[in-house]
Chain A
Amino acid sequence: NAGVTQTPKFQVLKTGQSMTLQCAQDMNHEYMSWYRQDPGMGLRLIHYSVGAGITDQGEVPNGYNVSRSTTEDFPLRLLSAAPSQTSVYFCASSYSKGGGSPLHFGNGTRLTVT
């Protein structure tokens, strides 16, 4: 199993541009989520999904959209990039949507917005 795969690994955007960060998992996990990691602030939850067709907001959802059309994929869309969205983005999945199970993380996408 490849686990959780994120693409691209690095991305530079100009302010106002849009892009989609891709996330795919091959473990048939129901639960998927997106976090951002900023220096000195730990990881913060952006959006999460407990199954195909179901998404919900996390702690810092503004400026981001998600959809979950399949169990495997959970893309994160930046509608109009801002410098404040410069961060490292991690996708994670878990077999249990109800909690109490470990998260499996991808290796991250490092995004810079100029």
Chain B
Amino acid sequence: SQQGEEDPQALSIQEGENATMNCSYKTSINNLQWYRQNSGRGLVHLILIRSNEREKHSGRLRVTLDTSKKSSSLLITASRAADTASYFCATDYGNNRLAFGKGNQVVVIP
């Protein structure tokens, strides 16, 4: 299996600022997904980008995918205190089997 790896591991920003996280992976993928996890809860799906897509938007989220560099980025614009969470990238290596990165802790300071 392959593991996504997020960078940076922890991020602390002021409310209203943008937050950017990067994810790298090792082998070819079908798609790449980003999830959010609030403390003590399950993961919530944010966005899925397929291997033939380069950019995708959903509300304040923007995801890019560069398959030549095997990397993806997640941008959260105009952050809010409610965005405080851990963010995970996950690569689909077939049949919905996801390989997750170690996660990115984001703290948004009001």
Contacts and interface: CB of A to CB of B under 8 A. Distances in A.
Interface stretch (A14-22, A62-70, A76-84, A105-113): A105-113
A100 B95 CA distance: 8
A103 B41 contact: no
Interface residues of A, number: 30
Interface in A32-57: 33, 35, 40-45, 48, 50
Contacts of A58: 97
A106 B42 contact: yes
A40 to B, nearest CB: 6
Interface residues of B, number: 28
B110 interface: no
Given A42-B102, A102-B33, A97 B45 contact: no
Interface of B: 1, 3-4, 30-31, 33, 35, 40-45, 48, 50, 88, 90, 92, 94-103
9 contacts: A35-B100, A44-B100, A50-B95, A58-B97, A96-B96, A99-B97, A103-B98, A107-B40, A108-B40
